[in-house]
Structure 1
Amino acid sequence: MLIREGESRTLTTDVLLASSLAFVAGGVNSAGYLGFGYFSANMTGNVSLISDHVSAGDLYLAAAFLGIVAMFVTGAFSASLFIQIGKRKRLTAIYALTLLAEAALLMGVGLYTLRAGASVSGLGTVGVISFAMGIQNAASTRISGSRVRTTHISGIATDIGVGLAQVLEPYDAHAGRHTRDRLLLHSATVGSFLVGGTVAVLCYRVAGGAVFCGFSIVLLLLCVRYLVGVSGH
Structure 2
Amino acid sequence: MINRLPKWVEIGGFFLALNAGVINAIALLGFKHQAVSHLTGTSTFLSLELANLQWNDALHLSFVMLSFVAGAALSGVMIGNTALQLGRNYSVALLFCVLMLLAAWYFLNHNSPYGHYFASAACGLQNAMTSTYSGAVVRTTHVSGIFTDLGVSLGLWLRGQVPDRRKVILYITLITGFLVGGIAGARGFMAFRFDAMLLPVWITSSIGLAYWLLVHRVRTGPDGTT
Q: 1:125 aligns with which of 87, 99, 115?
A: 115
Using the size of structure 1 for normalisation, the TM-score is: 0.83
Secondary structure of the residue aligned to 1:78 is helix
> 1:48 aligned to 2:33?
no
What corresponds to 1:96 in structure 2? 91
- Contact residue 9 and residue 144 of structure 1 kept, 8 A: yes
Q: Distance in 2 between matches of 1:231 and 1:147?
A: 26
What corresponds to 1:148 in structure 2? 138
- Contact residue 72 and residue 124 of structure 2 kept, 8 A: yes
| Structure 1 residues 23-75: Cα deviation after superposition (integer angstroms, max 9, x where no partner) | 00010011122222221113111111111221222222222212111111111
Deviation of the 1:229 alpha carbon: 6.0
Query: Taking every aligned residue pair, what percent have the same amino acid on both sides?
Result: 25
Counterpart residue type for residue 17 of structure 1 = G
Unaligned runs of 5+ in 2: 220-226
- Contact residue 80 and residue 132 of structure 2 kept, 8 A: no
Deviation of the 1:136 alpha carbon: 0.2
What corresponds to 1:83 in structure 2? 79
Q: 2:102 aligns with which of 72, 83, 107?
A: 107
Q: Distance in 2 between matches of 1:96 and 1:40?
A: 22
> 1:135 aligned to 2:120?
no
- Contact residue 39 and residue 126 of structure 1 kept, 8 A: no
Unaligned runs of 5+ in 1: none
- Contact residue 93 and residue 227 of structure 1 kept, 8 A: no
> 1:190 aligned to 2:190?
no
Deviation of the 1:6 alpha carbon: 7.2
Q: 1:224 aligns with which of 187, 209, 225?
A: 209
Q: Distance in 1 between matches of 2:146 and 2:216?
A: 36
Q: 2:186 aligns with which of 183, 201, 209?
A: 201
Aligned residues: 215
Q: 2:10 aligns with which of 10, 15, 39?
A: 15
Deviation of the 1:227 alpha carbon: 2.7
Q: Distance in 2 between matches of 1:93 and 1:203?
A: 33
Q: 2:21 aligns with which of 15, 18, 26?
A: 26
State which drifts further: 71-80 or 52-61: 52-61
Secondary structure of the residue aligned to 1:208 is helix
Counterpart residue type for residue 31 of structure 1 = I
Q: Which runs of 4+ in 1 moved over 3 A?
A: 5-8, 111-114, 228-232
Q: Distance in 1 between matches of 2:12 and 2:28?
A: 24
Counterpart residue type for residue 43 of structure 1 = L
Counterpart residue type for residue 203 of structure 1 = G
